Structure 1
């Protein structure tokens, strides 16, 4: 079940609004927040599904024309700008509580994990088609569920564990089918061995990062989400700036020409930066006021949207292994969320 988006209940009594009785006013506010919450979730489904499509539109002769660290660094900068902008009203009201130094340092762990994964996700686009990227990304369900059980002590039913087994089988079918297609992607399902290894690593890190981030966000629930995001993205800028500097130095040693942060950027690249910035902000809100289960539900829905976009934009040809994997994923998701 999806958690309430309002977090802890407020003890403040509601005053009449526009002549409405207090109870009716409270119900109207709750209905508005519920509607906004669902609109946020729907928007996140489309934002999440757009990433791999946009990344493939950026490819030039099968290669990315920009450095992964450049895109991630620009995204982190935009995230912190948006977080500070949303934090300013709280600063003016003076109702903001600053966390202690030890609590601030907790955000360094997810920042490192997200730094690794954000760069991995860029390179993975060359190793597989958009739909395979989304369907294999559902392995996050397995890693997240296991880590929920280990770290947050969240119990799963027998049916839910069975659904994870079905999901694992779906991943194997999709992987086998993807390896049958040789050569660079040209509108067909494809997956390389390197891409499969990268995806497994990505899903393990993603599961731990998601569970750990939810834990620290909710551990200090009264701390403003914008303050927590600002801390997380500050570490992210430092780490990704370091990755970019290392890549730049390595390029110089190999005799390559020095390039700027925006080298190879196109309109599609900037759309990726903007959408991924909002993706990070929305996911933080979901993990603070919802849960990682809500996040997995979004990822699964995004897979369906990505498939439709891939067929429409890239004339994606689906093979029988993918169709079987797709059906198994739907069955697994139904079993897990029923």
Structure 2
């Protein structure tokens, strides 16, 4: 017997377009914009006038934490109710904002956020803070397109930690894809370290700001390492817990605050005020970088919920292409054969890695990587 009309699952959509496509296109654009704006915000001004990267990381965690907390507050009745007959009041209804209801909801939220196992999020939180700071170092020392291609190495590190810690099984085509990914990134780095004219052009274009390709590459590799370890550990926590994803985001942001504050306190001048040290040279482009990072963290949650690995692979490929075209148009990026070759190899590796044929369990882990 065929399915009745009422049995067909509804696909969430916006204006007739499925949310999985909207979220992935948005994620691709966000990844590209973040790379471009972060790079421009760091190299368009002399180093003496540059804003504090640790401050940007701290603001990123604060804003994401507050937004996630607000979403968790709205959703708390659904996540804590065990009765299917209970109907939660609408966000716009007067019952939702009744003082007694609000107090009850705050208490529930506090119990969820400060649950006995919340400390487990401290490890990925510290790793994510390190990763985010390393991204700024890499964006300062690498061209936007080179950074975007090289940062795809996080697929390899995530897969490696997933095999080691979660005992995931990878297919032969996936191992081949990871090998191709490493080769492609290596080819791009050969181009980066040997292309002296590109370095000179960049220095002239950006007010004498010099870029150290080796330093940038090491920062990318370290960021990919921390990203892979944090992502896999975060998945381990999610698999062994029924807590809402937004609650986990609040916990991540909460445990990120202390490690994010440490480099700010260490580097602060004794004769400068706290606010003056925090927001020194913090202009429009710095705020734009923080805003896009926060937006990306929220979009990632939609991708986890509504999309799949195949489409995520296309989004990654699209972001690489956009970053490449933007680098050529905006940063006078010198296109070479080795960069094109390395980028194509990385794109093929990304596509191959996300091909169907994996078990459902093995298909989930790459979603746990935080942007």
TM-score by length of 1: 0.82
Query: What's the CA shift for 1:237?
Result: 2.0
- Going from structure 1 to structure 2, the CA distance change for 1:191 and 1:168 (only over 3 Å counts) comes to farther
Matched, 1:38 2:21: yes
Q: Which runs of 5+ in 1 are unaligned?
A: 1-21
In 2, distance between residues paired with 1:100 and 1:266?
A: 35
Query: What's the CA shift for 1:174?
Result: 0.8
Q: State the match for 1:8 in structure 2.
A: none
Whether the aligned pair in 2 keeps the contact of 1:74 and 1:273 (CA below 8 Å) is: yes
Query: What's the CA shift for 1:90?
Result: 2.6
Q: How does 1:1-338 map to 2 (within 5 A)?
A: 24-25=5-6, 27=8, 29-32=10-13, 35-58=18-41, 59-61=43-45, 63=47, 65-91=50-76, 95=81, 98=112, 101-182=115-196, 183=199, 185=202, 192-220=213-241, 222-248=242-268, 251-252=269-270, 259-287=276-304, 298-338=315-355
Whether the aligned pair in 2 keeps the contact of 1:140 and 1:296 (CA below 8 Å) is: no
Query: What's the CA shift for 1:315?
Result: 3.2
- Going from structure 1 to structure 2, the CA distance change for 1:144 and 1:40 (only over 3 Å counts) comes to same
Whether the aligned pair in 1 keeps the contact of 2:113 and 2:251 (CA below 8 Å) is: no
Q: How many residues of Structure 1 are paired with residues of Structure 2 in the alignment? A: 311
RMSD of aligned residue pairs (Cα, Å): 2.9
Whether the aligned pair in 2 keeps the contact of 1:139 and 1:203 (CA below 8 Å) is: yes
Query: Comparing 309-318 with 160-169, which one deviates more in the overlay?
Result: 309-318
Whether the aligned pair in 2 keeps the contact of 1:84 and 1:226 (CA below 8 Å) is: yes
In 2, distance between residues paired with 1:269 and 1:24?
A: 51
Query: What's the CA shift for 1:118?
Result: 0.6
Q: State the match for 1:5 in structure 2.
A: none
In 2, distance between residues paired with 1:197 and 1:179?
A: 12
In 2, distance between residues paired with 1:24 and 1:243?
A: 58
In 2, distance between residues paired with 1:169 and 1:73?
A: 35
In 2, distance between residues paired with 1:214 and 1:289?
A: 17
Q: State the match for 2:95 in structure 1.
A: none
